[in-house]
Amino acid sequence: MPGSNGGAKFVTDFFSEADANVVAFGVECPPSLREASQLVEPFDFTDRRNWLENARVFDAGEVKMDAVEKKTKEILAEKKLPLILAKEHTITLHAMNAMPAGTKLVVFDAHADVKDEYEGSRFSHACWLRRWCEVAGDNGANVALVGVRSGDEEELEFLKSTDMKFFTADDVRRDADAVANWLAEFVGDDAFYLSLDMDVFDPSIAPAVKYPEPNGISWDAFLEMLHALEEGGLIGMDCNEIRPIAGSMVTEFVAVKSVFRILDVFVG
Ligand SMILES: [Mn+2]
């Protein structure tokens, strides 16, 4: 059984690090996500194409949170795509620290993640995007947040005080084309980083997350958003916040299929 020893790699072990054009690494990545990556068919029946046709993935294993920036920089220096599989969304702050200045950031997330402090930390999963706005020093102008539907009044006021563009899941549901057009314009053909918090999806298709929020985006809407970004140059990505549910790999399969599709659109 794939992964029954807990040692499954993400996708394959066909490629060496030197041969790969995508280098995956985990930061407390649930073993079930790597297991699912061995079970999902990369051939898509709708597109009639192998979504991994151009991606040569190497899984470098697990990395500690405080080594994410260094590891990401090393992968970028090799002109490869870093693919980070993480438990906590905080890793995006570390990954963005490794990106060239001015890199655009597209975040799919149910949560605003712009609290000034959460559970006694200013660097928690609920604060990372606010910290990034401070670090980037651009008042959020290079950030787009898609699918948000949870946060407090103070977070909403903060978002409104920035130049960050945010779209609720309801905005996507009402007029996905308008959101897609805006995203296409925002990214253009620039370099960008994509962060996928699995709770952006409706919990009916991705229940295994720490903070499930009702009325999330659909699979079709997600595909439309990716399509809108296709002229952009993806230079880094992550997939995060899965909390496995015993006996169900639904969320892991959706996560893997999302990653495959992203690699299909942006690699090669
Ligand atoms: Mn979230």
CATH number reported for the structural domain that contains residue 60 in this entry: 3.40.800.10
Q: Distance between CA 41 and CA 106 in Å, rounded? A: 26
Is 1 part of any domain? no
Six-digit token pair at 162? 């920035």
Beta-bridged to residue 104, according to DSSP, are: 192
Give the model's pLDDT for residue 175: 97
Distance 50 CA to ligand 1 centre (A): 30
Is 161 part of any domain? yes
Distance 107 CA to ligand 1 centre (A): 10
**Which residues span the domain enclosing 104?**
22-266
The whole-number mean pLDDT for each consecutive block of 10 residues of the chain, a chain of 268 residues, reads: 61 89 98 96 94 96 97 98 97 98 97 95 94 95 98 97 98 98 98 98 98 98 98 98 97 98 95
Element (H, E) at 161: helix 153-161
CA R_g for the chain:
17
Distance 241 CA to ligand 1 centre (A): 7
Give CA separation, 113 vs 122, 151, 251, 262, in Å: 11, 7, 21, 23
Six-digit token pair at 223? 């595909």
Is 16 part of any domain? no
Distance 53 CA to ligand 1 centre (A): 30
Six-digit token pair at 139? 């008042």
Is 4 part of any domain? no
Six-digit token pair at 228? 């809108």
Give the model's pLDDT for residue 13: 75
User: Hunting for tokens 């960050």 — which residue is that?
Assistant: 164
Beta-bridged to residue 43, according to DSSP, are: 50
Which residue spans within the chain are E strands per DSSP?
22-27, 43-44, 49-50, 57-62, 81-86, 104-108, 143-148, 165-168, 191-197, 233-240
Distance 211 CA to ligand 1 centre (A): 7
Distance 109 CA to ligand 1 centre (A): 5
User: Hunting for tokens 């190497």 — which residue is that?
Assistant: 58
Is 12 part of any domain? no
Distance 22 CA to ligand 1 centre (A): 25
Distance 242 CA to ligand 1 centre (A): 10
Q: Indicate the number of domains in the chain.
A: 1
Distance 238 CA to ligand 1 centre (A): 13
Q: Whole-model pTM?
A: 0.96
Give the model's pLDDT for residue 5: 43
Is 3 part of any domain? no
Give the model's pLDDT for residue 12: 78
Is 10 part of any domain? no
Is 247 part of any domain? yes
